[in-house]
Structure 1
């Protein structure tokens, strides 16, 4: 009989027991101290060990190269076709994540919004997520009026609806593994404008357009890219279609991810 499979990921805080017949698949989600600690504690039980990014694998290899870690990026379900995004009215921008500065650098949205206002850009920014900075951000964005909306946590269906309507997704993270929100948004034709710490999708985005990647904390360059997309609507629409089609042919689909997980699990199971 095939063994039961137990996936150990970022919610695994207890040390798994070495129970016969249960194969424990370890997943390292991000190149940070929490994931490193879980891997160090559980690596002798996890077979196989899978990281979602090259950066996460390098973190583990640097400490112990003898424990094999493979890379399988996260994948998302893609719609069959690109939604119709309006070219009239304000450019629609979304940001998704925890409203914290550790890793996510949510406070960087404040100087970004101020730059967009100073450039007299017609925009609407929807910030999706909860966190300790929510009220502080709300106060700082008061000058922007209804150009900035903090929606808090919303259902996955509502998130997808927001992505379908959005032109651009911002990611201000200092580091990531393979961020699901970014992949889902790109899978719905959102143009990514991201910091260089975006993780696994970095090369994918650079191939689309190098200007879409800016250095960490460079909100001036981020605002300039948005300004260009506002002024060049045909470029914006073409780039949205390119993002969508590139995602469809990329490794970031749920089908490819699932096939790679199955292959990795089966290879480990066949080992003596």
Structure 2
């Protein structure tokens, strides 16, 4: 790994070999976009490609680990600024540092992931001759980056060579300021363990995601409180970290659910999927959440909100899951009650959920990404692309 605060950074950057493609993201902390970057980088390295992952943040924020064959460049230029002037200067430094690295890597294709990093990458790559692809992870109509970033997103995305999204709802929003011919739908590459861990189902409702207003865990706990007395023995587990940790823990105490709701933190979700009977994702907006596809692959029936974007492209109400109105704790409680009390219905939906995501393999998603990015074919170094990807 190379960090831009390394004294020999300029010398070492100048000696980089040319890479086939570079992936740019803010950090490698816990998150869906970060997991996608790691999975893609690992799969492409094992397919024989030279891949660089560039992060604005330093390695101290890492949750995911990259394959050793991936070149990691941590610019260590992320962080908050005290006021708009200092913020502008900090962003200019980020653009300059990123441009220097992109020039040295000289990859013919660069893919930027998520929010303000996309905007900064458009500016950094301007005029370098790199084919620049933007990967939008949420519906911009639902996810505001703040007024300056929203304006720059609308103005600069059209300067990219291609803008991708993992939901058709996001593409519809993007089409209002990006020409349709520059838009493409590309699915999430999801790595499923082979074989999947054995299922030993417990009376457990599971939620996986950042502790953020977007994910509506506050509504989830309110809904669980409504049914808790009716379903003794059932528990709620929430996997993830984020800024609402303290607030959500206070809500658990206020609802007197300390013995029924567990805040697990940042952990490997696979053992929890193997035990869960219901998956609840009442998000206020979504792209296509990896956690949903992972849960469905285990045959866990999901409950999602009717504003969950790409999730609604996979969940059909009453067929392979349940869809409830957003921010409606009573409707969410009713859906929980229905699944908890009817094991046959729960199993039928779970089997249909597993069938729905059977085609969402790393191999099929990787083919879609390579076709979209117009990557030339290579001689694979390993046939175990999916098995060697980050999980």
Where on the TM-score scale, by shorter chain, does this alignment land: which range?
Answer: 0.7 to 0.9
Q: Is residue 2:372 matched to residue 1:264?
A: yes
Q: Is residue 2:182 matched to residue 1:74?
A: no
Q: Secondary structure at the match of 2:257?
A: helix
* 2:321–2:353 Cα contact (<8 Å) kept: no
1:7 to 108, 111, 120: 111
* 2:273–2:295 Cα contact (<8 Å) kept: yes
- Deviation for aligned residue 1:86: 3.2
Tell me what 1:202 maps to.
Answer: 312
Q: Secondary structure at the match of 2:172?
A: helix
Q: Is residue 2:138 matched to residue 1:30?
A: yes
Q: Is residue 2:288 matched to residue 1:178?
A: yes
- Deviation for aligned residue 1:55: 1.4
Tell me what 2:258 maps to.
Answer: 145
Give the ranges of 4+ consecutive aligned residues of structure 1 lying more than 6 Å apart after TM superposition: none
Q: Secondary structure at the match of 1:165?
A: coil
Q: Is residue 2:175 matched to residue 1:61?
A: yes
Q: Secondary structure at the match of 1:205?
A: coil
* 2:158–2:178 Cα contact (<8 Å) kept: no
Superimposed CA distance per residue, residues 108-149 of structure 1 (whole angstroms, 9 cap, x where no aligned partner): 123212112243343111111222322222122131132100
1:253 to 361, 365, 375: 361
* 1:194–1:213 Cα contact (<8 Å) kept: yes
The whole-number CA distance in structure 1 between the counterparts of 2:375 and 2:152 is: 23
Q: Is residue 2:239 matched to residue 1:128?
A: yes
* 1:211–1:225 Cα contact (<8 Å) kept: no
Deviation larger for 23-32 or 71-80: 71-80
Cα 1:266–1:64 change in 2 (3 A) is closer
* 1:93–1:123 Cα contact (<8 Å) kept: yes
Unmatched 5+ residue regions in structure 1?
A: none
Cα 1:121–1:38 change in 2 (3 A) is farther
1:212 to 322, 337, 354: 322
Unmatched 5+ residue regions in structure 2?
A: 1-17, 21-106, 377-391
* 1:94–1:127 Cα contact (<8 Å) kept: yes
Tell me what 2:275 maps to.
Answer: 165
Q: RMSD over aligned Cα, in angstroms?
A: 2.7
The whole-number CA distance in structure 1 between the counterparts of 2:179 and 2:132 is: 20
The whole-number CA distance in structure 1 between the counterparts of 2:210 and 2:185 is: 25
* 1:75–1:183 Cα contact (<8 Å) kept: no
- Deviation for aligned residue 1:232: 2.2
The whole-number CA distance in structure 1 between the counterparts of 2:283 and 2:219 is: 10
Superimposed CA distance per residue, residues 243-263 of structure 1 (whole angstroms, 9 cap, x where no aligned partner): 2222113xx332222111111
Cα 1:13–1:183 change in 2 (3 A) is same
* 1:82–1:241 Cα contact (<8 Å) kept: no
Q: How many residues align?
A: 260
* 2:209–2:240 Cα contact (<8 Å) kept: yes
TM-score between the two structures when normalised by the length of structure 2:
0.60
Larger Rg, first or second structure (1 or 2): 2
TM-score between the two structures when normalised by the length of structure 1:
0.83
- Deviation for aligned residue 1:46: 2.0
- Deviation for aligned residue 1:74: 1.4
2:210 to 78, 83, 98: 98
* 1:43–1:67 Cα contact (<8 Å) kept: no
The whole-number CA distance in structure 2 between the counterparts of 1:27 and 1:244 is: 27
